[in-house]
Amino acid sequence: MTDTALLELRGVSKHFGAVIALHEVDFRVYPGCVTALVGDNGAGKSTLIKSVAGIYRIDGGEVLYEGQKVHISGPREAADLGIEVVYQDLALADNLDVVQNMFLGREELESLHTLDEIKMEARAQDTLQSLSVTTIRSVRQTVAGLSGGQRQSVAVAKAVMWNSRLVILDEPTAALGVAQTRQVLDLVKRLAEQGLGVVIVSHNLHDIFEVADNITVLRLGQNVAEFKRTEVTQEQVVHAITAGKLSKVPGVVDTTEEVTA
Amino acid sequence: MTTADATADTGSAGLGDAFREWWTNVRSGQLGSLPIIIGLVIIAIVFQSQNDRFLTASNFVNLIVQSAAFATIAMGIVFVLLLGEIDLSVGYVSGVAGVIAAVLLIPDGNELSTPIAVALALGSGIAIGTLHGLIITKIGIPSFVVTLAGLIAWNGVVLLLIGSRGTVVLQNDFLIGLANDFLPESTSWALWLLAVLIFAGIQLNEVRIRRKAELGHDPLSVIALRVGALAVALGAAVYVANEDRGIPYLFLLVGFFLLFWGFVLGRTRFGRYVYAVGGNAEAARRAGINVDRIKIAVFAICSFMAAVGGLVLASRLRSVDTNAGGGSILLYSIAAAVIGGTSLFGGVGHIKSAILGALVIASIDNGLGLLGLGSGEKFVITGGVLLLAVTVDSLSRRAQAQSGRA
């Protein structure tokens, strides 16, 4: 683990009207490490990753990327920085094959502006091999025919193919069976082994204790705990999720401030 | 590793393996064009047994001419269906284009030159489609409603353009020749040779490039079979047609659009995005694709192809009247695209389905006509065939789901 964080959020806040979705949240991701982001429903996990992905603009605090202060104002800028998000719905087109999905919107072209299928197929295969994804029979089959785990693998491969440095996975194992969850967790570990920063958002503590190096707990829009996986038990994490100490109790003093302001 | 191995295997496999793979696909519900080809064979057998004029050279040429307009308009419909949208206005849009060309070319001293009149007729198609697309995307009205309004409004425009003339008889050589002229025999054979050589060249070049990139490719025996099949099928068509009047120019027109739109859909970014928007618009949007622009372009293409079809129809009838673009044109064109295997739910289909479907529709229409049956029987039977085609499609989809491929 290096000392500079790949991504660092300092005191980041985000409001939707009077609702405080994030209140002075600190969050760090290191290269080569898997950082889990956990919390109950409505804790602000999605708001946090959407802020990093450039979908939401933060209202306060600062974002540092490799020690440099950055303003991520759109998904394009996030992608340019090397930040890729794999959303829970995966955003794959079922009727397209694996290669077509991996290159969607960023197709390689030949000299005559025709699609360079050869180059794309070769690169897609290389990427899948580098991630040791061995379960996909042919990269030319449609995504509709793939299992949940295979689809997740394709979505992850699509994300890391563009020299990304930070990959954020939103509930990657939520809809998967046992064997497929194993595939995806192995894949997550390999991403970190390749030096990428990985953020995994999940409800499943069992999965998190298997892959995560660090665990950040959010509760009601505030971060209430940061653990190293090796120094914590599942019970402690559950306690933090459900009853972690809040620096600011929402709904009493601050709400009046919000309203008058 | 497995992915690379699996594809490399197909590279070294022979004809037998290729056939076995195809059969596995068929059994798991990936039927491709198989049902429609079987359907065409059945149609041919049934009609031939009832009336031995069905499978004659003369009727074969008729069939090409009769199916050309439906095939042309259905190609535009395929684009719209690929997005999961619909265009109900293609019939009268084709009428508008036909009437514009016919009226502008009336030799009354004020007539325009042929290229300008044709360009204006086709341009009107593009303009109408762009208008539909803008209303659908920018205001957000479903395409069903916008093009239903178009169906009514463009019918009105046809009536307004025709005005008090009633019927406009075509007198322009180009416009009449479009559907009524035929290639000389030698030219048709030269074009046949050219087509086979180009097809073989493209296939072999593909193998060469894929080999260089160390990717799997189809075995040479399969490619030889494919080239041979094309040579025999096209050769038979050319031979039979030359027994009668020859290959119609319309055959070239439809062939050109088949290759052109096939190229656009299969080899360009635009085509890829059409499939992506039809498959998962949200995924396309997140991939940075301008979904609205793709939709507008597709409606413009659809109306453009309707305009081309309108010129073909006008040429076939040698006149336009207040009925231009009406009757069974709209329903036959949509039915052709669907019978050919294009899904109504978007994302699945191929431009060739327009031609296969149009052949089925024209064959039934033509065959029942030979049997002396009227429009009533034609519509009932065509409706039944449409339902059958969609049933086969949905059953094959179920088979795909059961074999884990859908």
Residue-wise pLDDT for B210-219, tens only, equals 888 777 778 8
Residue B60, CA distances (Å) to B66, B239, B251, B280 in order: 10, 11, 12, 41
> Residues A7, A64: contact at Cβ < 8 Å?
yes
Residue A3: its pLDDT value, please?
65
Mean pLDDT value across residues B322-337: 90
- Please state, for a pLDDT cut of 90, what percent of chain A lies above it: 17
pLDDT: which is higher, A108 or B119 = B119
Label the pairing between strands A214-219 and A34-38. Answer: parallel
Distance between alpha carbon A16 and the CA centroid of its chain, in Å? 22
pLDDT: which is higher, B269 or A135 = B269
Provide CATH code, domain B35-42+53-181+249-400: 1.10.3470
Among A50, A88, A90, A104, which would you mutate to test the B interface (most chain B Cβ atoms within 10 Å of its Cβ)? A104
Q: What's the CATH code of the domain at A30?
A: 3.40.50.300
Residue B220: closest CA among B231, B238, B208: B208
Considering only alpha carbons, which residue of chain B is nearest residue A100?
B272
Residue B13: its pLDDT value, please?
58
Q: How confident is the model at residue B105 (pLDDT cuts 50, 70, 90)?
A: very high
B83 in A contact zone (CB under 8 Å): no
Owning domain of residue A28: 7-90+165-260
Q: What tens digit of pLDDT does each residue of B29-85 get?
A: 677 778 888 888 999 999 999 888 888 999 999 999 999 999 999 999 999 999 999
> Cβ of B213 and A140 within 8 Å?
no
A122 in B contact zone (CB under 8 Å): yes
Tell me if A95 is assigned to some domain: no
Tell me if A49 is assigned to some domain: yes
Q: How confident is the model at residue A89 (pLDDT cuts 50, 70, 90)?
A: confident
- When the pLDDT of each residue in chain B is averaged and rounded to a whole number, the result is 89
Mean pLDDT value across residues B99-125: 93
Tell me if A18 is assigned to some domain: yes
B288-303 as b/e: b if 16+ CB within 10 A: ebebeebbbbbbbbbb
Structure tokens at A5: 């964080």
> What type of residue sits at position A97?
D
Residue B4: its pLDDT value, please?
40
Residue A18: its pLDDT value, please?
85
Instruction: Output the DSSP codes for B32-100.
Output: TTHHHHHHHHHHHHHHHHH-TTTTSHHHHHHHHHHHHHHHHHHHHHHHHHHTT---S-HHHHHHHHHHH
Could you give the number of structural domains in chain A? 1
> Cβ of A118 and B278 within 8 Å?
no
Residue A248: its pLDDT value, please?
67
| Beta-carbon-side half-sphere exposure of residue B161 (alpha carbons within 13 Å) | 27
Other C-beta atoms lying within 10 Å of the C-beta of residue B159: 15
Measured between beta carbons, which residues in chain A are less than 8 angstroms from residue B268?
113-115
Q: What tens digit of pLDDT does each residue of A250-261 get?
A: 555 444 444 443
B287 in A contact zone (CB under 8 Å): yes
Residue A102: its pLDDT value, please?
92
Q: How confident is the model at residue B23 (pLDDT cuts 50, 70, 90)?
A: confident
Q: How confident is the model at residue A46 (pLDDT cuts 50, 70, 90)?
A: confident
pLDDT: which is higher, A141 or B132 = B132
C-alpha dihedral, B374 to B377 to B379 to B385, nearest 10°: -140
Structure tokens at B191: 């074009």
Minimum-distance CB partner of B282 among A91, A122, A144: A91
Other C-beta atoms lying within 10 Å of the C-beta of residue A251: 10
Strand partners, A27: A9
Strand partners, A84: A167
Report the C-alpha gap between B356 and B254 in whole angstroms.
Answer: 12
A134 in B contact zone (CB under 8 Å): yes
A95 in B contact zone (CB under 8 Å): yes
Write phi, then psi, for A107 (nearest 5 degrees): -60, 145
Report the C-alpha gap between A105 and B297 in whole angstroms.
Answer: 17
A130 in B contact zone (CB under 8 Å): no
pLDDT: which is higher, B361 or A134 = B361
> Cβ of A114 and B268 within 8 Å?
yes
A-B contacts (CB, under 8 Å): 101
Residue B297: its pLDDT value, please?
97
Question: Residue B25 pLDDT > 90, yes or no?
Answer: no
First to last CA, chain A: 43
Question: Residue B153 pLDDT > 60, yes or no?
Answer: yes
A110 in B contact zone (CB under 8 Å): no
Residue B9: its pLDDT value, please?
41
> Cβ of A107 and B278 within 8 Å?
no
Question: Residue A225 pLDDT > 50, yes or no?
Answer: yes
A144 in B contact zone (CB under 8 Å): yes
> Cβ of B279 and A93 within 8 Å?
yes
> Cβ of A106 and B287 within 8 Å?
yes
> Cβ of B404 and A145 within 8 Å?
yes
Distance from CA of B223 to the nearest CA of A (A): 18
A156-189 as b/e: b if 16+ CB within 10 A: bbbbbbeebbbbbbbbbbeebeeebbebbbbbbe
Among B205, B264, B280, B294, which would you mutate to test the A interface (most chain A Cβ atoms within 10 Å of its Cβ)? B280
Distance from CA of B311 to the nearest CA of A (A): 31
Measured between beta carbons, which residues in chain A are less than 8 angstroms from residue B275?
93, 95-96, 100
Among B1, B2, B3, B260, which would you mutate to test the A interface (most chain A Cβ atoms within 10 Å of its Cβ)? B3
B288 in A contact zone (CB under 8 Å): yes
Q: How confident is the model at residue B404 (pLDDT cuts 50, 70, 90)?
A: low
Tell me if A96 is assigned to some domain: no
Chain B, 327-346: which have a CB under 8 Å from a chain A CB? 346
> What type of residue sits at position A234?
Q
Q: How confident is the model at residue B5 (pLDDT cuts 50, 70, 90)?
A: very low
> Cβ of A114 and B347 within 8 Å?
no
Q: How confident is the model at residue A88 (pLDDT cuts 50, 70, 90)?
A: confident
Considering only alpha carbons, which residue of chain A is nearest residue B345?
A95
> What type of residue sits at position A242?
T
A249 in B contact zone (CB under 8 Å): no
Structure tokens at B8: 């490399």
- When the pLDDT of each residue in chain A is averaged and rounded to a whole number, the result is 85
Tell me if A211 is assigned to some domain: yes
B29 in A contact zone (CB under 8 Å): no
Tell me if A60 is assigned to some domain: yes
Residue A24, CA distances (Å) to A35, A51, A60, A160, A181 in order: 19, 13, 8, 30, 33
Q: What tens digit of pLDDT does each residue of B285-308 get?
A: 888 889 999 999 999 999 999 999
Minimum-distance CB partner of A113 among B268, B275, B284: B268
> Residues A40, A241: contact at Cβ < 8 Å?
yes
Mean pLDDT value across residues A161-167: 86
- How would you list the strands of the sheet with A7-16, edge to edge? A19-29, A7-16, A60-65, A68-70
> Cβ of A129 and B3 within 8 Å?
yes
Task: For residue B264, give every residue at least 6 positions away whose Cβ sits within 8 Å of its Cβ, in sequence order, or none.
Answer: B270, B271
Residue B280: its pLDDT value, please?
92
Residue B402: its pLDDT value, please?
67
pLDDT: which is higher, B261 or A53 = B261
Distance from CA of A193 to the nearest CA of B (A): 19
A74 in B contact zone (CB under 8 Å): no
> Residues A177, A62: contact at Cβ < 8 Å?
no
| Beta-carbon-side half-sphere exposure of residue A9 (alpha carbons within 13 Å) | 24
Distance from CA of B34 to the nearest CA of A (A): 20
> Cβ of B289 and A104 within 8 Å?
yes
